[in-house]
Structure 1
Amino acid sequence: MVGISPTIVGPAAWFKPNRHSTFGIQTFMQTAVGTRDATSPNYWSNISSFIFDYEWKHFSFDGDAGTVAGAAKHVKGGHTYSPGVVFYTNLRFSWKATRLFEPFFALDWQNVKGTYDRTAGQYLDDSNSREITLGLGAMFNITKHVSFTTRYSHSVDGRNIPESNAYYVKFVYLW
């Protein structure tokens, strides 16, 4: 499936409490539609999280923790639903093997409260979910301003959610 997800816009701010750490907060609004039905939640939502990073000489620890809260979803000629609130965290612990090569271990967790049918006054069956994934990856610091990251993650525990079995690639250029 190919498609573009809904637009996400909003501010992010961070500060450095000391030269080895960064702490921040971000909050984004997500529009209701993407380019395809499969990529469209059909309701507006807010994605807010705390972000952090701590750097030691040979190791680093970074991640985020946050929530996603959605507005009511109205189905034309049907019911109105309140999507379940999502709580999540994404953590990464890495070893700075060399200036270029930084392998890491990742842990991702999410818990989703059930979807509430406002018209019927009840939660939808099996609409709550939870998942924990573990992953391994490596970041390649090509230059001070360019990095390339690859990662594999797999579900180790879940409820009412398809099992994650994913590969990720990220290219970053800082200016």
Structure 2
Amino acid sequence: QTPSGTRDTLAAGYWSNISSFIFDYEWRHFSFDGDAGTVVGSTKHRPGQDSYFPGVVFYSNLRFSWKATRLVEPFFALDWQNVTGTYNHSRHRYVDNSSSREVAPGVGIMFNINRRFSFTARYTHSVEGRNVPESNAYYVKFVYLWP
């Protein structure tokens, strides 16, 4: 990711690298898929302000599903993230309460309309969180695979 942009809320002000391992295991009646990864950023420098090294993000999003029929696939999901503390280089210390963690299980159902089109509905609710807004969300996903 690049640090450029016209708004601070959209442009982090530092470079970061997002690396993920993505997997998908398919069996006759079940599937297990997800990702695991990290986000590592560079030190944020702004003229006249302290320099900060953002916390390193570790995450995983897992899904275990049962292929009930060709059309219907209910699943359990688990999302996890952990962020190490932000380090203030100018003051040589970590920023108070800047590390965070969340564990959020969920349930959902995927409808495989045909080989190229699917629709998924999911609900996720956090069971543990520290220094982060806890998840309590509904998600909807439409996927179209073109040849």
What TM-score bracket applies, with the shorter chain setting the length? over 0.9
Identity %: 71
Distance 1:34 1:136, change over 3 A: farther
> Could you tell me how far apart the structure 2 residues matched to 1:35 and 1:137 are?
38
Provide TM-score, normalisation by structure 2: 0.92
> Could you tell me how far apart the structure 1 residues matched to 2:126 and 2:89 are?
32
Q: Structure 2, unaligned stretches of length 5 or more?
A: none
Q: Does 1:45 align with 2:16?
A: yes
- Comparing both structures, which one devotes a greater share of its residues to strand? 1
**What SS does the aligned partner of 2:96 have?**
coil
Q: Deviations over 1:46-77 (max 9, x none)?
A: 11011111111111111111110011112331
> Could you tell me how far apart the structure 2 residues matched to 1:100 and 1:35 are?
45
**Aligned counterpart, 2:128:** 157
Residue 33 of structure 1: how far off its partner (Å): 4.8
**What SS does the aligned partner of 2:33 have?**
strand
**Aligned counterpart, 1:71:** 42
**What SS does the aligned partner of 2:9 have?**
helix
Q: Structure 1, unaligned stretches of length 5 or more?
A: 1-29
> Could you tell me how far apart the structure 2 residues matched to 1:169 and 1:109 are?
19
**Aligned counterpart, 1:21:** none
Higher relative contact order (CA 8 A, sep 6+): 2
1:89-168 pair list within 5 angstroms? 89-168=60-139
Provide TM-score, normalisation by structure 1: 0.78
